[in-house]
Chain A
Amino acid sequence: MAIYNLKINGKTQEIDVAPDTPVLWVLRDHAKLTGTKYGCGIGQCGACTIHIDGTAMRSCSLPVSSVGDKAITTIEGLSEAGDHPLQEAWVEHDVPQCGYCQAGQIMNAASLLKNNPSPSDADIDAAMNGNICRCGTYLRIKSAIKTASQKMG
């Protein structure tokens, strides 16, 4: 075990875990932030997507020892009041069905829009291809990203 002072959603938390513990389980089991989801554990589905210093990462495959003092942002910390343009667009387009993958989709999309504020359809496909939605809400996700992009632009 080792002690890590992690910056999670703007607050520093002291967490005592084994160095190889994936950030996903640190968030879910230790920080009690369950918005970040477990889907596959091997970085194939994107349900566990978080931001490390603003960039989308798969938290299931990211050992806590590699984070250092970088800022971790989860779906709970994406916006203060749950009103990030993407979150609002997700509600407006009624995107979710089961909803399980959507936090990962939103976090991945937020990283995309940060780097590319006006993505084309092909840009969205390329950036979002690692995020599986088993319910098949891909078209709505694309529409919601475009709406958020316009609002942010």
Chain B
Amino acid sequence: MTLIKTKHNRRSFLKVSSLAGGGMVLGFSWLAGCKPEGTAEAVEAIIMPDNWYDVNAFLKIGNNGVVTIMSPNPEIGQNVKTAMPMIVAEELDVDWKNVIVEQAGLNTESFSRQLAGGSQSIRQGWKSLRMAGATARRMLMEAAAKEWEVDVAELTTASGVITHEGSGRSIGYGEIASSAAGIEVPEEVELKDPKDFKIIGVPTKNVDGKKIATGQPLFGLDYQQEGMLIAMIEHPPAFGMTLKSMDAEAAKAMPGIVDIFTIDTYPEDVEKQWSDTSAFSELVAIVGNTTWEVLKAKKALKLEWEGKDAIENTSTIDQELEKRLLAAADDPARSRKDGDPEAAFRDAAQVIERTYSGPFLAHNTMEPMNFFAHVTADHAELVGPIQTPEFMRKTAAARLGLPEEKVSIMMTRMGGGFGRRLYGHFGIEAAAISQKINAPVKLIYTREDDMTQGTYRPTYKVTYRAALDADNNLIGFHVKGTGAPESPVFNNRFPAGTVDNYLAENNSRESNISTGAWRAPRSNFIAFAEQSFLDEVAEAAGKDPIDFRLGLFDRAISDPVGDSNDYDPERYAGVLKLVKEKAGWGQDKPGVHRGVSAYFCHNSYVAQVVDVVMEGDKPKIEKVWCAVDCGIVVNPEGALNQIEGGIVDGIGHALYSNMTFKDGKPEQNNFDKYRLIRHSEAPKEIEVFFVENGVDPTGLGEPSLPPVAAALANALARATGERLYSQPFVGTQQVLG
């Protein structure tokens, strides 16, 4: 049994009140002040709320016993709308079938700290969600104890019913909820022993599954209001360009067109939030009655553009990044050095050096960017898919000249996020358009607008060097990263800590091609490079690739180098050992080529074995074996789905996807030119194995993606005899068709 405090600095995380019509409402902080230990990944958590105590979620217990949990977290497909309420319901001790989950909007002062990013929702919510459920349960028990005049310690609960064994009395939560609303919030509550969990750990279906399968309007693009107009934008065709002139006369005269004008989304006097990444502030807005009419007018516009800034080419960026890999580190403070790497390389019997590269990538959420806005003289109503509603509200208020409390934001379900919907310029654009035409408007990006607007995954390059002594021991390791606009290197990640002589350094390059977080930022590339390289080093050392890695972890366990290593070597080795056992590593099957990889990011550990067969020059992925250590698995059904999706996503982007630029202009603007993985290219089978260790849960939205590209590359190297150094694998290299 664990005790947890419900107060911090004398402020309570919880507030209680009675429910109109009978029952109780417990307000609590969804991501309350139980900041997870360790801050190494704080940056990846994107942004931490600065006030951890605000009540932003509600638990209602009606007098009929039905429990409603208002989930304020944006749902982007990571299934937190199911998993997080499961945690509350567990500690409340109710049956999951009596729980209703509702999405809350950012439209009152109460709902004020909401974000989705960095696979952090479950990790950060774990303690506060348990506390909320446990507190409500305790208050219900205290109310019952008072009514029956017995000691609360004599009461037990199960399935939403309180029982006093001594007297044989029992009462449902619904019947006592109104009385519980008058009980003072306890300062300390008991949490369940994980072995008593009845909901956590049970595969549970997505709460919106049926609505999705029947086409209910859930997404931003589905949102409609009476009298609503449709807006589209036209942005410059190239990064570095702005509008020179516009001839909209013919387009304005087309049927259904209300107006065509330019907007400056971010005038200089508007303070931008970090989430306001946008390459194009000045846009042409086309507003009309229906989508098709607006689309036709958009195509009829006569627009001239001019260069105002650097006009970039992928080929030039690539060349410059290669030069940076040879240049000195840009900032020694961003380096890590252990021992004497120069000496190690000088004395080495064998040095292996390889360079890896990855392209810009678009997010390509299936639902293109969109937002609804209705701005009047004294109020703005915004509705749509956004991962960072609070930042959008700040910027919208500044842009519209309204106080923040006059801007309401309602979040819809999101047709994919992958990081893209952290950057909410489209909401500000919709608001600016609505204000200008004084009407409710839904802004819709075409796929082309969406894919060419920017906010891409940065392009990366990294060079690895390994020094082996005459006995094939790894005595020196050097990694140097570059990218536009950031280097992918994490100085303190594996294999830092396993080698006496180690150097990690960076030298990155600016670009006006806008970039942002893309599912598992940096890890999504560096895992491919690092784990491909280690595979080759193991080969050069004449060692089995798993045994070679396990040897490194042994060193990090017994005698780690340095004290800032950003991983737990035992858990890391644990997933490798598990996948080795489950996949039957070492038992070769004719025609099947295997590759292995392991990576740690977003606080979870993943190891994978990929089995590939070649059909001509086309790889077919027979099976992916995947071992995961994410602590306690809250919802195994949703967890499996996330892991499978991450694997398919990682394989698809490694094999096929590429965003290139010529004269500042994206060369891919729709799915005929930008290749995404399809049904026939997905692995035939994915089998997932969880490490059972009772550790507090960590996220799963991202961790299965990074390692799989290397496991695939290592399998393909065995299949074809050619190592892969550059993504995408298909198209840029000759070995694969």
Contacts and interface: CB of A to CB of B under 8 A. Distances in A.
Interface of A: 1, 17-18, 20-22, 25, 28-30, 32-42, 44-45, 47, 74-76, 82, 86-88, 90-91, 94-103, 106, 121, 124-126, 128-142
Interface stretch (B316-324, B453-461, B635-643): B635-643
Interface string B206-236: 1011101111111101101000001000000
B101 to A, nearest CB: 15
B367 interface: yes
Contacts of B76: 98
Contact of A91 (B210, B291, B446): B210
B214 A35 contact: yes
Contacts, number: 192
B136 to A, nearest CB: 28
B219 A42 contact: no
Contacts of A39: 366-368, 447, 671
A29 B293 CA distance: 11
A44 B213 contact: no
Contacts of A95: 209, 213
B104 to A, nearest CB: 19
Contacts of B652: 136
Complex A-B, nearest 4 residue pairs according to Cβ-Cβ distance, in ascending order: A35-B215, A136-B648, A100-B415, A98-B77
B255 interface: yes
Helix, strand, loop or mixed for chain A's interface? loop
Given A25-B292, A139-B685, A134 B676 contact: yes
Interface residues of B, number: 67
Contacts of B637: 94
> Majority SS of interface residues in chain B?
loop
A12 to B, nearest CB: 20
Given A18-B255, A140-B644, A103 B682 contact: no
A137 B291 CA distance: 29
B215 A121 contact: no
B110 interface: no
Nearest to B671: A44
B291 A40 contact: no
B562 interface: no
A136 B649 contact: yes
A39 B674 CA distance: 13
16 contacts: A18-B292, A21-B290, A37-B367, A42-B447, A76-B214, A90-B209, A95-B213, A98-B77, A98-B416, A101-B366, A102-B213, A106-B213, A134-B365, A134-B418, A136-B682, A141-B679
Interface string B644-671: 1111110010000000000000000011
Contacts of B418: 134
Contacts of A103: 212-213, 215
A30 B296 CA distance: 17
A87 B213 contact: yes
Contacts of A101: 366, 415
Given A18-B255, A82-B214, A100-B415, A34 B224 contact: yes
B456 to A, nearest CB: 15
Contacts of A141: 679
Contacts of B415: 37, 98-101
B127 interface: no
B163 interface: no
Nearest to A124: B679
Contact of A37 (B206, B221, B224, B682): B221
Contacts of A36: 215
A99 B218 contact: yes
A42 B79 CA distance: 30
Given A18-B255, A34-B222, A90 B447 contact: no
A99 B208 contact: yes
